[in-house]
Amino acid sequence: MPKRDPRPVAVLGLGRFGMRIAKQLSRGGEEVIACDFDRDAVEAISPDVAQAVALDVTDEHTMRARGVHRVKAAIIAIGEDFEAAVLATVICKQMDIPRIIARARTRTTAEVLRRVGAHDVVLAEDEAADRWANRLLGPSVLNQIEFHEGYSIVEFAVPKPWVGRGLAELDVRRKLQLHIVAVKRPDAESPTGTRVAVLPPDEPLGEHDVLIVMGQDQHIAALANI
């Protein structure tokens, strides 16, 4: 199972989307630096994150002074002020932040944000916040497809504590409220190098197995803590 990068995640902008994703990431064990010019918003999020900072996210000097340039990912969660979102994205790009995720209100603004440096763009609110939190929380979440609002199917690398144990023993449906649909395993004879199988409940999981898991996004987030 890949190790989680210990560096923090910055959330720039604390509107509805920013507040939600900051809290989700923090609950999942990430160190979150939450930033906004609005001191009331910063004060509101303060109990839920590692750092809550009142600053101008369009000022590179101030951002560097608060350590934002050292994060592994920055989420530009500014929804109303498009100019500020663009400037914050450009600054994050200049600071060589490895992953920049920006929120956009339209497909046109999304394209602009991509052109100035965003690696990914989010076009929704609550469910998108949950889904992106899951992606950032779990390096073992290899792929995620939303099939209904608030529900997803993910490919999840088998955690070390699960290796050698069967699905019946793990009892994921009861303990985590998730359903393991199938298991993807290495197969040298397959043209794709893998095969997908439905395992008997007592067959042990292997360290190279990938689980195909279905459930609510909020429950999928719990996989990051295993």
The model's confidence at residue 79, banded by pLDDT at 50, 70 and 90, is confident
Adjacency order of strands within the sheet including 51-54 = 51-54, 32-36, 9-12, 73-76, 99-103, 120-122
Residues 156 and 121 in one domain: no
Question: Looking at per-residue confidence, does 196 or 224 come out higher?
Answer: 196
Please tell me whether residues 131 and 154 are part of one structural domain: no
**Same domain for 78 and 172:** no
Residue 118 DSSP one-character state: -
Query: What is the rounded CA–CA span in Å between residue 179 and residue 212?
Result: 9
CA-to-CA distance for 60 and 87, rounded, in angstroms? Answer: 9
Instruction: Specify the length of the chain in residues.
Output: 226
Q: What angle do CA 138, 129, 152 make, to 5 degrees?
A: 60
**For residue 178, pLDDT beyond 70:** yes
In a shared domain, residues 120 and 192 = no
In this prediction, residue 139 has a pLDDT band, given cuts at 50, 70 and 90, of: very low
Helices (H), 6-140: 16-27, 39-45, 60-65, 82-94, 107-115, 126-137
Q: Are residues 19 and 125 in the same domain?
A: yes
Average pLDDT, the chain: 84
Domain presence at residue 80: yes
Q: Which residue shows structure tokens 């996989």?
A: 223
- Asked if residues 128 and 114 have their Cβ atoms less than 8 Å apart, the reply is no
Instruction: Give residue 183's pLDDT.
Output: 87
The CA-based angle 163-167-173, given to 5 degrees, is 125
Q: Helix or strand or coil: residue 25?
A: helix
Which residues make beta-bridge pairs with 123?
none
Task: Kindly state whether residues 31 and 107 are assigned to the same domain.
Answer: yes
My answer on whether 121 and 38 are in the same domain is yes
Q: Mention every residue, 6+ apart, whose C-beta is less than 8 A from residue 136.
A: 9, 25, 30, 73
CA 216/CA 153 separation, integer angstroms = 9
CA 116/CA 194 separation, integer angstroms: 38
**Residue 200 is part of which domain span?**
140-225
Question: Taking a C-beta distance cutoff of 8 angstroms, is the pair 205, 183 a contact?
Answer: yes
Same domain, 119 and 55: yes
Q: Are residues 50 and 71 in the same domain?
A: yes
- Is the pLDDT at 135 greater than 70, yes or no? no
Residue 13 lies in a domain: yes
19-74 pLDDT, tens digit each: 989 998 898 889 999 999 999 999 999 999 999 999 999 999 999 999 999 999 99
149 falls within a domain: yes
Q: Which amino acid is at 91?
A: I
Whole-model pTM? 0.61
Give the residue carrying structure tokens 């996210």: 57
88: domain CATH number is: 3.40.50.720
Give yes or no for residue 141 having a pLDDT over 60.
no
Averaged pLDDT for residues 98-127: 83
Between residues 45 and 129, which one has the greater pLDDT?
A: 45
